[in-house]
Amino acid sequence: MRTPLIAANWKMYKTTGEAAQYGRELLEELAARRVSVTAGEQGQPGQVAVVVCPPFTALAALGSALRGSPVALGAQNMHWESSGAYTGEIAAPMLLDLGCRYVILGHSERRQMGETDEQVRRKVQAAAAAGLIPIVCVGERIEERRAGQTESVVTRQVRAAFQNLDAAAAGRAVIAYEPVWAIGTGEHASPEEANRVIRLIRDTVADMLGSETAAAVRILYGGSVKPDNIGPFMAQPEIDGALVGGASLDAKAFADIIQQAEVNAA
C-alpha cells in the first residue's frame, strides 16, 4: 500500500512573510480538519504525506513555520553538481541544509526554457545520491497529444530520468504525470486517462527496474487539480496523489485537497 502524497508547487509566488503566514495557516487548517499527516514517506493506512515546495527564497521562512510538523519541505529545482562555479544555481547540500526532503525536477515550465532529458537525468541522480527525494515531472505537450505521441513522450522522459538509478533510489522517488496542456489552464485530463498513462509509467519502471520497484514508486497526477476535482483522481487505482500548482497557493484550498486525499486513503 502506497501512502498518498499531496505536493504543492508554488512556482514563482510568495515572499518570505507570505510563506511564514501560509505555513501557520496550513497547519491550523489541517488541525481543524483533523487530517492525519505522516512525517515519513510511508504512513499508516488512512494517513497522507504532504510536501510544500516554495521558491528558494522562501524555504527558510516556510521551514521555520513548519518545524516540528509532519508537513515536509521541498524545492522546485537544483543543479546536478554539489558545488562549483555555477552562478545563480543551487545545489543539493544547500537544500538539505534548509531542511528540504523533496525536490521537483524536470517540470515542464523548466523544460520549456531548455532543460533537457539529459539534464533532468543528472539532477535526478544527484538528488538521489544526496538523499533528496526527486519528484520527476513528465508529460506531453498539446501538439504531441494531438499527434498520438503521449505514450512515446512520457516513456522517453521516464526512461531518461531513471537511467542509471538503482532500484532502492528509484523506489523512493516520485513521478508526477503532468500533461502540459492541463497546467494552469483549468482543463484537466480525465481521471481514467490519467490513470491509463500512470499505469504505463509504472510498467515502464517495472521494465527498467523490476516490479517491486514499480510497486513502490509513487506516481502523482498534476494539472488543474482543485478541491472539487481531486476526489475522482484519488479514486483511481494507479494514482498516488497530486502535484498542485495554482490551488496550492491558498492554504484553505490546499488543506481541502489534502483532506480529500486522506478520506480516500482511509
In the bound state with ligand 13P, the residue whose beta carbon lies nearer, of 93 and 184, is 184
Separation between Cα atoms, residue 57 and residue 128, nearest integer Å = 23
**Per CB under 6 A, 244 contacts ligand 13P:** yes
Q: Which of 29, 41, 79, 107 is catalytic?
A: 107
- Number of residues near ligand 13P (by CB under 6 A): 14
Q: Which residues pair with 134 in a beta bridge?
A: 103
Q: Which residues pair with 7 in a beta bridge?
A: 51, 243
Pick from 47, 224, 259, 260 the residue near ligand 13P by CB under 6 A: 224
Pick from 23, 55, 222, 241 the residue near ligand 13P by CB under 6 A: 222
Instruction: Give the interface segment with ligand 13P, choosing from 55-63, 82-90, 209-217, 220-228 (CB under 6 A).
Output: 220-228
Find all residues with CB under 8 Å of 244, minimum gap 6, and list them: 6, 7, 8, 9, 222, 225, 254, 257
Looking up cell 514499480, which residue turns up? 214
Per-position x/- string for 15-44, each x denoting binding to ligand 13P as judged by CB under 6 A, each - no binding: ------------------------------
Find all residues with CB under 8 Å of 136, minimum gap 6, and list them: 105, 106, 120, 124, 158, 161, 162, 173, 174, 175, 176
Active site residue 107: yes
- Could you list the residues that contact ligand 13P (CB under 6 A)? 9, 107, 178, 183-184, 222-225, 243-247
